[in-house]
Amino acid sequence: MGLESKKMIGYTSGVYDLFHVGHLNLLKNAKGLCDHLIVGVTSDELVAYKNKKAVINHSERMEIIRSIRYVDAVVPQNDMDKFKMWERLKFDVMFVGDDWFKSEKWKKLDKQFKDVGVKIIYFPYTEGTSSTLINETLINLRNHK
């Protein structure tokens, strides 16, 4: 019997509203660095904490992400606590945008994850493309008819 190598489980999360190439790049790059990619999709209630409202509802956003070939599993993200998600899923590596890098919140999380052997990989934020920018552009287009 040969030794079976352990599959590397990766995790990332996001709202994924108005899906765009920045989202796709993150998922593609994450999948390239793990064997099994789990993606948490932020619930509508959790989006509301930022005083925002998703254009596309949660179940549809989950279905869009589930359909991406780089994604192996989709879970709802109902809590901002990434460590609680780790306790549930036991992933080996977590992927996040580098816009969070070195924030106080992530410094604490980085240490917490390091203590349990989870590596955090920061991907460059896609400049010039965001759901917020797409939303603002659509609002401007509608207002200037």
User: Is 52 among the residues known to form the active site?
Assistant: yes
**9-14 vs 93-97, strand pairing mode:** parallel
Q: How far is CA 116 from the centre of its chain?
A: 20
Cα distance between residue 18 and residue 54, in whole Å: 8
Higher pLDDT, 112 or 48: 112
Burial class (CB in 10 A: 0-12, 13-18, 19+), 125: middle
The domain covering 9-143 belongs, at the CATH homologous superfamily level, to: HUPs (3.40.50.620)
All structural domains of the chain with their residue ranges: 9-143
Task: Look up residue 119 and give its two tokens.
Answer: 């590596």
- Could you give the residue ranges of the DSSP H alpha helices within the chain? 21-31, 44-47, 58-66, 82-89, 104-115, 131-143
Q: How far is CA 91 from the centre of its chain?
A: 14
Q: How far is CA 107 from the centre of its chain?
A: 18
User: Is 50 among the residues known to form the active site?
Assistant: yes
- What mean pLDDT, rounded, does the chain reach? 85
Which tens digit of pLDDT belongs to each residue from 78-130?
998 899 999 999 999 999 877 666 677 778 888 899 999 999 998 876 655 55
SS3 40: strand
Q: Band of the pLDDT at 50, cuts 50, 70, 90?
A: low
- The pLDDT value recorded for residue 135 is 54
61 pLDDT more than 70: yes
Cα–Cα–Cα angle for 109, 19, 51, rounded to 5 degrees: 60
Task: Look up residue 9 and give its two tokens.
Answer: 């489980």
Lowest mean pLDDT among 3-7, 45-49, 90-94: 3-7
| Catalytic-role residue among 50, 102, 111, 145 | 50
% of the chain beyond a pLDDT of 90: 54
Q: Band of the pLDDT at 12, cuts 50, 70, 90?
A: very high
Closest CA to 47 of 20, 73, 79, 83: 79
Mean per-residue pLDDT, 24-28: 92
| Catalytic-role residue among 6, 7, 28, 52 | 52
Q: Band of the pLDDT at 6, cuts 50, 70, 90?
A: confident
